[in-house]
Structure 1
Amino acid sequence: MDTIRHFNVTIAMASNPIFCGICDQRHITKPSTDWCSECNQALCTECKDFHASIKASQNHSTIPISNHLALGSSFSQVEGHCSVHDDKYQLFCQTHDCLLCLTCLEEHTKCGDVVRISKLTRDVKTSESFVDTQNSLSDIILNLSKIQSHLEENVCDIKKQKESILREIAQMRKEIDSHLDQIEKSLKIELSKVVKV
């Protein structure tokens, strides 16, 4: 049985490196389709439906697992729980630019701009600033690609110019040597005419 499970795990890992967390707790290996950042957990299609129907998590927003993986490892390493109070972050203090759990909130009662994280992130993918930022990043990537291409072309041109200059130097050296040889020859002729021994 363990061999079959290992084989299924290997096949699933080839297409999707993250498995459904709920299924995994029940010793079932299923590839995930979505990610809940509030639960910090991957979900398969069935568990996503179950997750959306439970009162405790019905207001959680999920994103496709491909989008979560595209965020990169540095983003996924952001802790979802307060290390001081061992509680889930639910709020954000805009004054101090920090995440808060409900216990942390006691230290920020005088801050007037504490908001729920879910409110901040609800429409982030469709917000105008997100779309503008995404477009700007696309433009930056395109420009960097063009700059890299131009730099490579410049390096290639410099190499060609170097080779051309070296050829010109060699040709000039031959011409100078040839000219000096002619001068030497004519001087020897003149000298032999003047001094007859």
Structure 2
Amino acid sequence: MASSGRDCCTLCYDDDGSSREAVTWCTECEVLLCTGCEKHHTKSKASKDHKTMSTKDYHNLPKFMLEISSQCRDHKKKFELYCSFHACPCCVQCITDKHKKCQDLKPLSDILKQVKSSASVQLFEKDLKNVKENLEEIIKYLNSRMNTNNSQKNKGCRTNSIYEEVDR
């Protein structure tokens, strides 16, 4: 990223050091793309089905989402498999380094497809909806209590001022 506060195209910068302004972020390649590179990216057979988002939307993502990567930090290779024993994604190099004896390795793409349609995700969504509704009720109740307290406080102030006038 350039010091001017704008995003530079990752591909152009890595290729020839140029700092063309990025307009999109590819969620799969994890690169920022300028208009020209985005055009080639959407036409390329290898990346035409990739999901992209505007750089503005990318920067509005929560911090924890920005820290998620589809590449192995140790080997800088794309995660391709999932180790059920260790409950973690693996790149090809991880398998030879850390998972030689692991028996239950599955394609990561299969695992990700199952996650979205699993019952636990649907239950989680339902739980989140219930929590949201409960919080909305709590906020209504607290606002009501604050209004009641404020009106009683104002009544008390008016009552006190009447007594002060009588005492004079």
Normalised by the length of structure 1, the TM-score is 0.54
Aligned to 2:148: 157
Higher share of residues assigned helix:
1
Aligned to 1:93: 83
AA at the equivalent of 1:69: H
Which has the larger displacement, 135-144 or 62-71?
A: 135-144
Equivalent residue in structure 2 for 1:29, among 20, 24, 27: 20
Q: Superposition RMSD on alpha carbons, in Å? A: 4.3
Paired residues, number: 160
CA contact (8 A) 2:71 2:77 kept: yes
* Structure 1 pair 68–157 and aligned structure 2 pair: CA distance change class (3 A): same
AA at the equivalent of 1:152: N
Equivalent residue in structure 2 for 1:112, among 104, 114, 135: 104
Normalised by the length of structure 2, the TM-score is 0.61
Q: CA deviation at 1:151?
A: 1.6
Structure with the greater relative contact order (CA < 8 A, sep ≥ 6): 1 or 2?
Answer: 2
What is the percent sequence identity of the aligned residues? Answer: 22
Query: Computing the radius of gyration over CA atoms, which structure comes out larger, 1 or 2?
Result: 1
Query: 1:103 aligned to 2:93?
Result: yes
* Structure 1 pair 173–28 and aligned structure 2 pair: CA distance change class (3 A): closer
CA contact (8 A) 1:93 1:115 kept: no
CA contact (8 A) 2:81 2:105 kept: no
Hey, what's the Cα distance between the residues in 1 that align with 2:52 and 2:118?
19
1:48-107 deviation per Cα after TM superposition (whole angstroms, max 9, x unaligned): 33234556x437622213553343222112344333334332322244321211122241
Unpaired segments ≥5 residues, structure 1: 1-5, 178-197
Hey, what's the Cα distance between the residues in 2 that align with 1:158 and 1:113?
61
Unpaired segments ≥5 residues, structure 2: none
Hey, what's the Cα distance between the residues in 2 that align with 1:105 and 1:72?
31
CA contact (8 A) 1:51 1:58 kept: yes
